Amino acid sequence: MNILLFGYGKMGKAIEKLSLERGHHIALTIDKEETDKIDEIEKYAIDIAIEFSEPKSAFNNIKTCLEIGVPVVSGTTGWLDKFTEITTLCQQKDGAFFYASNYSVGVNIFFKLNEYLAKLMSSQQYGIKMSETHHTEKKDAPSGTAISIAEDILKQHPQFDKWALDIQKPDTSTIPITSYRETNVPGTHKVTYHSEIDDITIKHKANSRKGFAMGAVLAAEWLIGKTGVFGMNDMLEF
């Protein structure tokens, strides 16, 4: 595959390394200070774009690619208020778009465990709290992964109807999420159900960015030749 890579930070470089190891070619990279390169995309024989940029750039990056017929795999969070617009554009252009808040296979297994636990706990008298820890360069909070976890709980647990970031005294219907930013950490997500009797915690801790990068490259390989809007559940057949 000839790959267009949006975002050339630590994640972008990890994706590049794995792509080359798997026999692909990085035809063009566009980092946050190189937005003028977007006008040059059609000069390259791009098979697919992998988009890990910034919230303020993601929508335009994805939109531009779909408009010229380039499939997109995106992992950028913080722009999802425009997700419906991208979905509509993808359908209009008969294009292909793959989105996940987290490309780690382990995290997506964690998502399923979280859904199952929330369903089991829906009839029990437990409070709940969440936390997420990421590197200091991450622009959005809470993380897109944390939001996905919280939204999945809301679907399964009728006691809760919203989540909120960094609140000290949440009401009984709110899932509190605490965000931590630390130097040079790939990411940790934790969900705890607590009561006077005991606590139940599930946690995913990334040890490197390789799992996220591999998931993105696998998604790009999987998306080639398809049309529609997809996510990790489709690729992993959960």
Q: Which tens digits make up the pLDDT trace of 128-186?
A: 999 999 988 887 899 988 999 999 999 999 999 999 998 888 888 999 999 999 988 87
Q: Name the nearest CA neighbour of 93 among 121, 63, 126, 123.
A: 63
Sign of CA dihedral 71, 73, 77, 83: positive
Structure tokens at 76: 């950028």
Cα Rg of the chain, angstroms: 19
Q: Which of 129, 135, 138, 190 is catalytic?
A: 138
Does residue 189 have an active-site annotation? no
Is residue 73 within 8 Å of 98, Cβ to Cβ? yes
pLDDT at 28 over 90: yes
What global pTM score does this model have?
0.77
Structure tokens at 175: 């899932």
Taking the C-alpha atoms of residue 7 and residue 144, their distance in angstroms, rounded to an integer, is 17
**pLDDT class of 8 with cuts at 50, 70, 90:** very high
Does residue 134 have an active-site annotation? yes
Angle between helices 144-156 and 105-121 (to 10 degrees): 30
